[in-house]
Amino acid sequence: MVVVVVLVDVVVAAATPTVMLTVDPESALAPEAGLCAVTRPTLGSPAGTVLVTTSTSKPLLRKVAVAKFTRTMGTMLTSGVAILEALDIVAKTAGNRSVEKAIYNVRSGISEGRTMADPLTESGVFPPMVCQMISVGESTGALDAMLEKIADFYDEEVDQAVENMTALIEPIMLVFLGVTIGGLVIAMYLPIFKMAGAI
């Protein structure tokens, strides 16, 4: 089941209130719940944070985060960047505090002699399949190639998910436009019909 949610918060900036709509993906990527937090982090203090359940935001955001992490990490390892430095750069460019925290935990684990896959599994942010594939890549010495394959797979998954969401929204938009246009036509011609009936 797909839940389409539109929430609006009002943020007061200077003398005029401004309506902003941004989705904070960090709650959606939290491993313990399928919740998506809608916040207003810009233009003044937020009026509040609203939690809504959704069946589409969390999987899509997770796939985007995995694709971004694996693509960036694989590219840097292929270019010869040291793994600790690469993890530090990837964490700073993650754009999500949950993913950033998980990557820094990986960096700390590698500094202590652990593998990359174990801290990723413990974080709960990345899917088990990704952690297993990374473990295989580490074991075979082809981590960069494995990361590229994971990124390719999840890029395709994201594209497919976006196409599915677009296909779902199209009929909803058609119904909305039909109801709107029908309402306008009725509002325009109903007075004329009433006048004609009165005559």
The Cα–Cα gap between 179 and 106 comes to 53
- Span 2-6, average pLDDT: 40
Residues forming beta bridges with residue 11, ordered by sequence position: 18
Provide CB contacts within 8 A for 136, sequence distance 6+: 146
Quote the pLDDT of residue 99: 87
Q: What are phi and psi of 12, to 5 degrees?
A: -90, 115
User: Element (H or E) spanning 46, and its range?
Assistant: none
Helix, strand, coil tally for the chain in percent (to 5): 65, 10, 25
Give the confidence band of 191 by pLDDT, cuts at 50, 70, 90. confident
Query: What is the rounded distance in angstroms from the CA atom of residue 40 to the CA atom of residue 120?
Result: 30
- Cβ neighbours, 10 Å, residue 36: 25
Single-letter amino acid, residue 119:
P
DSSP per position, 169-196: HHHHHHHHHHHHHHHHHHHHHHHHHHHH
Helix runs in the chain, H state only: 25-28, 57-78, 83-92, 97-111, 117-123, 128-140, 143-198
pLDDT > 60? residue 174: yes
If pLDDT is split at 50, 70 and 90, which confidence band does 50 have?
very low
With 80 as the cut, is the pLDDT of residue 53 above it? no
Q: What is the pTM of this model?
A: 0.60
* Model pLDDT for residues 88-147, shown as the tens digit of each residue: 999 988 888 888 898 999 999 998 888 888 888 888 888 889 999 999 998 888 888 999
> Can you list the positions of beta strands (E) in 44-127?
50-53
Q: What is the pLDDT of residue 133?
A: 92
User: What band does 33 get if pLDDT is binned at 50, 70 and 90?
Assistant: very low
